[in-house]
Amino acid sequence: MHIPDGFLTPGVWAGASVLSAGALAGAAAKAKKTLQDRQVPALGVAAAFIFAAQMVNFPVAGGTSGHLLGGALAAVLLGPWNAFLVMAAVLVIQCLFFYDGGLTALGANVLNMAVIAPWVAYGAYKLFAGAGKNKSIRTAAVFAAAWLSVMAAALACTAEIVLSGSVPWSVALPAMAGWHALIGIGEGLITAVVVAFVRQHWSLPQGVSLHE
């Protein structure tokens, strides 16, 4: 899903960059108020896991690539604002040091995978899980949230490419939606398993919450 250089027009990547910068400002302000030192290791572990998962890429439509996102995993475990910081850090490192995703498209990639994916996942999880403590319902909610986060990010990516005139809707939408519907199933399964494992085995530091 990383968009390379040359696929977005200046208007599209500039607009996406402005939105991503606004999200960064909001996340930074939120972190300044609420993030504690004891929480940082949890963010680091999440970033390392997601970084490794995202490095496994395969080509899909229009020169873009598909891979596991991790936005839902970070959002469910750490909340959407912390998830943004984790995902944005991963994407910046990938872009600058591994050339995964274009520099001009960095704002769009951050918007799709660090803003849209975590917030869609978090909202979907809260909606589907509700206030109940039933493990089966929560696991199903995690799966659904992860799948929807992948689809939302893929659709946003598709829209940006199409609006830039790089690929027509008739080509980009079926390919991206089809591939990422399958990727979303894998994302949902992995996210559900990891979240269940963390809840059962990981003793989180005081002040770090698994967002219910």
Please give the DSSP secondary-structure letter assigned to residue 80.
H
Prediction pTM value: 0.88
Residues whose CB falls within 8 Å of the CB of residue 26, separated by 6 or more in sequence, listed in order: 81
Q: According to the model, what pLDDT value does residue 207 have?
A: 38
- What is the rounded CA–CA span in Å between residue 198 and residue 208? 12
Residue 63 confidence (pLDDT): 59
User: Looking at residue 35, what is its pLDDT?
Assistant: 80
Query: Identity (one letter) of the amino acid at 163?
Result: L
Query: In the block, which residue shows the tokens 């995202």?
Result: 54
Decide: 59 and 109 in contact? Cβ < 8 Å: no
Contacts of 70 (CB under 8 A, 6+ apart): 46, 49, 50, 53, 54, 87, 90, 191
Locate tokens 């290791």: which residue? 41
Which H or E run includes 209?
none
pLDDT at residue number 46:
86
User: What topology does CATH give the domain 10-201?
Assistant: Arp2/3 complex 21 kDa subunit ARPC3 (1.10.1760)
DSSP assignment of 106-168 equals HHHHHIIIIIIHHHHHHHHHHHHHTT---HHHHHHHHHHHHHHHHHHHHHHHHHHHHHTTSS-
Domain definitions of the chain by residue range: 10-201
* Burial of 123 per CB tally in 10 Å (0-12, 13-18, 19+): middle
Determine the Cα–Cα distance for residues 34 and 80; give it in Å rounded to an integer.
13
Q: What is the pLDDT along the chain (212 residues), one digit of tens a residue?
A: 789 999 999 999 999 999 999 999 999 999 888 887 777 777 888 889 898 877 776 666 555 556 789 999 999 998 999 999 999 999 999 999 988 889 999 999 999 999 999 999 999 999 998 866 788 998 999 999 999 999 999 999 999 999 999 899 999 899 889 888 988 998 999 999 989 888 887 654 433 444 54
